[in-house]
Structure 1
């Protein structure tokens, strides 16, 4: 399973956009719970942000486009790693885990994102 740090996100977006279908943004799949999204969220800049709580992924993963690169995000990286593995096992090929989750995102990429 591939993983990136939030500080590597822009490089990943550039590489992902090059491999995605024309005029298609890469996806950051936020698998945290709704209350977590209200507490701290990211700004979708250069990617589409899709919220899909981890427990709903098995029944909703077919809503995702297999042709689009996906980076999975959670609080610290454990849930998103599980979702990354699940997607890879279910036919998605361009999926990475955002190591350290939104906590690392706040520390490495955007300090305006609250830490909780």
Structure 2
């Protein structure tokens, strides 16, 4: 599966914006409340990893999906699972929201 560094994420989303890419955050609700990432050019979709199979119908099958979590472990598992289950355009964000906080936006809380 392709992976994106946080430094590449905004440019990638902007380049794909005509197709409304999805930024799929697979963290738990309390984590998203603490540090949500909402970026222009992408539709934010928050589905905890444990709920993904029951909410699969919420994912588009015709737009890029970029998976995000805290450090990149859960999102890598989800991205790989989505690929195995027929989603063709799936990316993983290396280092997750923590890397975003460190490299892109120090105002975003770390936890």
Shorter-chain TM range is over 0.9
Partner of 1:98: 93
Deviations 1:63-86 (CA, angstroms, capped at 9, x unpaired)? 211101110000000000000011
> Across the two proteins, how many residue pairs are aligned to each other?
111
Aligned partners of 2:38, 2:51: CA distance in 1, in Å?
22
Deviation at 1:15, TM superposition (A): 3.3
> Structure 1 stretches (4+) deviating beyond 4 angstroms?
none
- Take 1:56 and 1:114, find their aligned partners in 2: how far apart are those partners? 25
TM-score, normalising length from structure 2? Answer: 0.93
* TM-score (normalizing by structure 1): 0.89
1:83-104 CA distances to partner (integer Å, 9 max, x unpaired)?
0011111111111000100000
Mapping 1:76-115, distance limit 5 Å: 76-115=71-110
Q: Give the secondary-structure state (helix, strand or coil) at the position aligned to 2:8.
A: helix
C-alpha distance in 2 between matches for 1:107 and 1:16:
25
1:35 aligns with 2:38: no
The separation in 2 between residues aligned to 1:81 and 1:73, in whole angstroms, is: 8
How much has 1:113 moved relative to structure 2? 0.9
Shift of 1:14: 3.1
Cα offset, 1:107, TM superposition: 1.3
Partner Cα separation in structure 1 for residue 90 and residue 44 of structure 2:
14
Residue 9 of structure 1: aligned partner: 9
